Structure 1
Amino acid sequence: MKVTDFYAQSSEPLISFEIIPPKRGKSINSIFEALDQVMPYRPPFIDVTAHAAEAYYEELDNGNIRRHIRRKRPGTIGLCAAIKHRYNVEPVPHILCKGFTREETEDALIELNFLGIQNVLAIRGDDHGAPKPYNADRTINEYAVDLVRQVKRMNRGLYLEQLMEADKTNFCVGVGGYPEKHFEAPNLNWDILRLKEKVEAGADYIVTQMFFDNQKFFDFEAKCREAGITVPIIPGLKLITSYRQLTTLPRSFHLNIPEPLSHEISLKPDRARDIGIEWGVQQCQELLNHGVQGLHFYVMANPSAVIDVLDHLKTGLKSRAV
């Protein structure tokens, strides 16, 4: 079932989650343990992040430096298949521009299609300093809009090679939105025009980058509607659970943390988790009162704080539990 169908058919806000594959060499069991905890909230879909190869360096005994290039978190497609089989929940694998050729993307989409996975999130991805050498017969998607176009072409039965009587795929495509603008964009209006291009290319829904100030989301949503973007816009949410995140989150995700939140955590760093959960409850309640179609939580590997927030919400969400 497609993500957009879930939103269209639901009479109440949906709760969805995003997880990260385990590191290379680790078991899938830790992911299952995390997912077991969120299943009582009946998520209609689970996002699974994807990761390109990263460059890292090792100092050898002789003093030389060896450069390694490796995907530290492989297994997105396999994890998606496991989620679909184990939980009967729709997985949403992320597909990236960075680190993958269009040929590799097509192969991945074919595998997902064979597995009956109908949803993908098309994003540009981060640059980890490991550029891939491309031969003349290999091509790349430079931006997420190019990725959306490739997926939608396959939905029309158009592949990179001209294949006679090729079967059509049937993917629903999500894209990312940035309430505080993408860090490379000169301003928010410019960024929203780029987002509109992705929608015009065929994107079916938008899930936002994390934010902590709801007014940023409300303004972003209003600007999107004014620009003619009509697809669902789903707020993406992250909970602060440690003092350290006051610096790591802005550095990694180019966002602002509201002064009241950062000030309170700075005064009581040992209560950072409790303060973050209290803020999350208020933030979610306000978003639900605003009428959002769903809440999408960036769980990654530990859902405990998100579960605490959901348990505190006074919206009837807990009554949806199995």
Structure 2
Amino acid sequence: MATAPNISFEFFPPKNMGAAFGLFETVNALHSTHPSFVSVTYGAGGTTRTLTHEAVELLHKKFDLNVAAHLTCVDATRAETLEIANAYADAGVTEIVALRGDPPKDKGQFEPHEDGFANSVELIEALAETGRFTLRVGAYPDPHPEAADENADVLWLKRKFEAGADSAITQFFFEPDTFFRFRDRAASEGITGKIIPGILPIVSLGGLKRFAATCGMTVPTHIEEAFDAAGNDSEALSIDLSTKLCERLIEGGVEDLHFYTLNRPGLSKAVLANLGIAGA
């Protein structure tokens, strides 16, 4: 196999004490793989803004991790958003995952705050101007639900890099060729920044279908059929599918993998063990 890739993980902030213990257990389980960075999400509509800030600072201080805090444009003024960003920098957290963000669940579409950033590009430009951050952004190998056509996501990603992004993390996808086609289209548009594939080990088929629906994606029939047939062996199937996906990506020249852990470390760690990652 090619050289082992750099590994990173996404966590979500705990909403109660039990979930806090779950997050700590997840971080402890994956810490030994020496991730290049970890990210902590916002909830839809910015609903976990305070929890995200607390989790980011804790992971940075307690676990000495390179933490990238998610930051969105949702339901905040420009001043409020930059105040949050600068508070991260003051605490030693200098990586941001800059996103437009999902609208609150009671709203059908994103509506910028009247004094806020209209989109992710405006947010990236403002953060870049501070000179305080490494900026990571989102990318969509499968079309974003609001994309006008197949190439719209590539062109929007180009604008993000031109605004000051340092790297991009993709939404999860099911087939390696989906990523490779996106990477090739990005290169043809002159994008030279790093595009990191996002990997989602499948916890359950039902959960995957709900998650995919929120992203405007459809779960391939062959994956549904495989999980229906697997029955009690669905965990082994999930590990096998993610391992094979990662192996194909690495063979295709990918040097970084970002795992969406859902705060459940077992599947991600098993995949990493299969890939020969030290500490897994």
Same fold (TM over 0.5): yes
- Higher RCO, Cα 8 Å, sep 6+: 2
User: What per-residue deviation string (whole Å, max 9, x for no partner) do you get for residues 251-297 of structure 1?
Assistant: 12222333322221123343322211111110011111112121100
1:76 equivalenced with 2:68 (yes/no) = no
Per the alignment, residue 321 of structure 1 pairs with 279
1:224 equivalenced with 2:182 (yes/no) = no
C-alpha contact (below 8 Å) 1:19/1:46 kept by paired residues: yes
Distance 1:128 1:79 in 2: 21
Distance 2:61 2:76 in 1: 27
Three-state SS of the structure 2 residue aligned to 1:121 is: strand
Per the alignment, residue 3 of structure 1 pairs with none
**Match for 1:285: what amino acid?**
E
Once the two structures are overlaid, the 10-residue window that deviates more, 21-30 or 192-201, is 21-30
Per the alignment, residue 121 of structure 1 pairs with 97
Per the alignment, residue 69 of structure 2 pairs with 93
Unaligned runs of 5+ in 1: 1-10, 55-70, 156-169
**Match for 1:212: what amino acid?**
F
Per the alignment, residue 47 of structure 1 pairs with 39
Distance 1:29 1:245 in 2: 22
**Largest Rg, 1 or 2:** 1
User: What per-residue deviation string (whole Å, max 9, x for no partner) do you get for residues 37-84 of structure 1?
Assistant: 001111121100023557xxxxxxxxxxxxxxxx35732122111111
Per the alignment, residue 30 of structure 1 pairs with 22
Displacement of 1:201 in angstroms is 0.7
Distance 1:27 1:150 in 2: 33
Distance 2:191 2:111 in 1: 37
1:236 equivalenced with 2:194 (yes/no) = no
Three-state SS of the structure 1 residue aligned to 2:205 is: coil
Per the alignment, residue 259 of structure 1 pairs with 221
**Match for 1:36: what amino acid?**
N
C-alpha contact (below 8 Å) 2:72/2:100 kept by paired residues: yes
Displacement of 1:300 in angstroms is 2.3
C-alpha contact (below 8 Å) 2:26/2:263 kept by paired residues: yes
Per the alignment, residue 139 of structure 1 pairs with 115
**Match for 1:141: what amino acid?**
F
- Taking a change above 3 Å as real, the CA distance of residues 290 and 304 of structure 1, as seen in their structure-2 partners, is same
- Taking a change above 3 Å as real, the CA distance of residues 48 and 129 of structure 1, as seen in their structure-2 partners, is same
Once the two structures are overlaid, the 10-residue window that deviates more, 271-280 or 15-24, is 271-280
- Taking a change above 3 Å as real, the CA distance of residues 140 and 293 of structure 1, as seen in their structure-2 partners, is same
Displacement of 1:24 in angstroms is 4.8
Unaligned runs of 5+ in 2: none
C-alpha contact (below 8 Å) 1:24/1:73 kept by paired residues: no
C-alpha contact (below 8 Å) 2:199/2:259 kept by paired residues: yes
Once the two structures are overlaid, the 10-residue window that deviates more, 20-29 or 297-306, is 20-29
1:190 is aligned, of 135, 152, 162, to 152
C-alpha contact (below 8 Å) 1:213/1:258 kept by paired residues: no
Displacement of 1:245 in angstroms is 3.1
Structure that is richer in helix per residue: 2
**Match for 1:236: what amino acid?**
G
- Taking a change above 3 Å as real, the CA distance of residues 100 and 51 of structure 1, as seen in their structure-2 partners, is farther
Three-state SS of the structure 2 residue aligned to 1:217 is: helix
**Match for 2:227: what amino acid?**
I
Matches within 5 A, 1:156-167: none
Three-state SS of the structure 2 residue aligned to 1:89 is: coil
Per the alignment, residue 249 of structure 1 pairs with 211
RMSD: 2.3
- Taking a change above 3 Å as real, the CA distance of residues 134 and 312 of structure 1, as seen in their structure-2 partners, is closer
**Match for 2:257: what amino acid?**
L
Per the alignment, residue 177 of structure 1 pairs with 139
Displacement of 1:308 in angstroms is 1.3
C-alpha contact (below 8 Å) 1:238/1:297 kept by paired residues: yes
Once the two structures are overlaid, the 10-residue window that deviates more, 292-301 or 242-251, is 242-251
Identical pairs, percent: 29
